[in-house]
Amino acid sequence: MKSNGSCRICNGTLIETFDFGRQPLSDSFPADDTVAGEFFFRLAVGICTDCTMVQLTEEVPRERMFHEDYPYHSSGSVRMQQHFVDTAKQLVNEDLADSDGLFVEIGSNDGVLLKTIKSAGVRHLGIEPSVGVAELSRAAGCRVWTEFFDEELAERIVKSEGKATVVFSANTICHIPYLTSVLNGMRTLLEPGGVFVFEDPYFGDIIEKRSFDQIYDEHYFLFTARSVQEAASRHGLELVNVEPQAVHGGEVRYSLSLQGTRAVSPSVDEMLETEKAHGLGELDTLQTLGRGIDEICGALVKLLSNLKKDGRKVVAYGATAKSATLLNYAGIDRELIHSVYDSTPAKIGRLMPGTHIPIVDSAGFRDSDADIALLLAWNHAEEITSMEREFRQRGGKWVVYQPEVNFL
């Protein structure tokens, strides 16, 4: 345990609790083994002793992660498509129904949510720095600027489009180390009665499920209601609602508004109480997770080694960003896993970051001779195991690794 500088939010003391060592970028899939210059950085996580914000202790420059070849396509999961259609409809009905208000989305990716907003005839603007996915959303008729959202961009949006009634963001705000600039920008961008709604993986779920693989380069912050409330209040914003979401392994949707402009829902105090009872702001909690990480990785390597000795063919399913942390920290490479099945065109034919396990088209999974499949996309377990039900029917077994290593 060591102190590693200061908190990105409050400048308080940041205590580093777990060091994953040298890690590759989680969404960078080399074309072949000979590719030189795979980028590595030190992945370590810590907690601020003042505002309790859980955060990485080192930052990867944003342009290295988010660029024209960013491979993650949000529409790759049918369940997530539905989640965003439902979310868009709810936002339109609750906050934009009778207004000519502006809707802004930060990190709109391939337009998975924005398409529904556009179809509802709402004035909208997506902010998406990764050109490849931004183009996909433009092809679907959405208005998108290829930019990184920050304080300066907020001013330009207001100049060109006016203030926003609703700003939405999913799985993006926790990716932005310069959160203070984002929150300052929000104060500029929101109209007086407006709302900023964002959802990200919840630290409470990460602790409960020991889903430590949610810690990787892109996930700079692991939020709680407490840490979000504190960050918001430093920038003239107020946490007015929290709502758990059963996606990506457990998220929370936070609503912020300009201080004093909206009633605060009782859900906020309820969640703050639960967090206190579960010790989410304490150093100890993160240290216990650290011991869990070593236990899980040790057990998984042992299981995979035994399966290999027994002559079983082991593959994995889902070339997730998350799995970079698991595979590289545990030292699981192509000796233990034959290949990784995935449906994303930009990942098929490439290699997994750091471990260089080959990625193959998931269309071939049902005809494969795999005996065991490690489910790296555990957050899509229902969708994947029901789509691939023949695998079980012919005797195949799924392995998961959180909260502990087990057959599914």
Burial class (CB in 10 A: 0-12, 13-18, 19+), 334: middle
**Is residue 7 involved in binding Zn ion (CB under 5 A)?**
yes
Instruction: Give yes or no for residue 383 binding ligand DWN (CB under 6 A).
Output: yes
Q: Report the partner that residue 48 touches, choosing among ligand DWN, Zn ion, ligand SAH, none (CB closer than 5 to 8 A by kind).
A: Zn ion
Pick one of 13, 344, 368, 385: the residue that binds ligand DWN (CB under 6 A). 344
Judged by CB under 6 A, does residue 361 bind ligand DWN? no
Q: Which residue, 11 or 99, has its beta carbon nearer to Zn ion?
A: 11
Partner that binds at residue 12, options Zn ion, ligand DWN, ligand SAH, none, CB closer than 5 to 8 Å by kind: Zn ion
Q: In what order do the strands lie in the sheet with 54-56?
A: 2-6, 13-24, 40-48, 54-56, 221-222
Question: How many amino acids of this chain bind Zn ion (CB under 5 A)?
Answer: 8
CB of 199 to ligand SAH, least distance (A): 8
Q: How far is the CB of 8 from Zn ion (least distance, A)?
A: 8
Binding site for ligand SAH (CB under 6 A): 62, 66, 70, 72, 74, 106-107, 109, 127-130, 133, 148-149, 170-172, 175-176
Residue 51 contact, options ligand DWN, ligand SAH, Zn ion, none, Cβ 5-8 Å cut-off depending on partner type:
Zn ion
Q: Which CB, 87 or 362, lies closer to ligand DWN? A: 362
Shortest reach from residue 65's CB to ligand SAH, in Å? 7
Q: For residues 71 and 131, is the Cβ–Cβ distance under 8 A?
A: no
Q: Which is nearer to ligand DWN, 95 or 105 (CB)?
A: 105
Closest residue by Cα to residue 91 from 162, 170, 178: 170
**77 binds, options ligand SAH, Zn ion, ligand DWN, none, Cβ within 5 to 8 A by partner type:** ligand DWN
What is d(CA 146, CA 131) in angstroms, rounded to the nearest whole number?
Answer: 6
Judged by CB under 6 A, does residue 380 bind ligand DWN? yes
Beta strands 54-56 and 221-222: pairing type? antiparallel
Residues 6 or more apart from 375 whose CB is under 8 A from it?
Answer: 316, 317, 318, 381, 384, 385, 398, 399, 400, 408
The 3-state secondary structure of 304-350, one letter per residue:
HHHHHHCCCCEEEECCCCCHHHHHHHHCCCCCCCCCEEECCCCCCCC
Residue among 384, 398, 399, 401 that touches ligand DWN (CB under 6 A): 384
By a kind-dependent CB cut-off of 5 to 8 A, residue 379 interacts, out of ligand DWN, Zn ion, ligand SAH, none, with ligand DWN
318 lies in the site for ligand DWN, by CB under 6 A: yes
Q: Which residue is nearest to ligand SAH (CB)?
A: 107
Residue 10 interacts with Zn ion (CB under 5 A): yes or no: yes
Interacting residue with Zn ion among 43, 51, 80, 405 (CB under 5 A): 51
Residues that bind Zn ion (CB under 5 A): 7, 9-10, 12, 48, 50-51, 53
Residues that bind ligand DWN (CB under 6 A): 72, 76-77, 171, 218, 318-322, 342-344, 347, 362, 377, 379-380, 383-384, 387
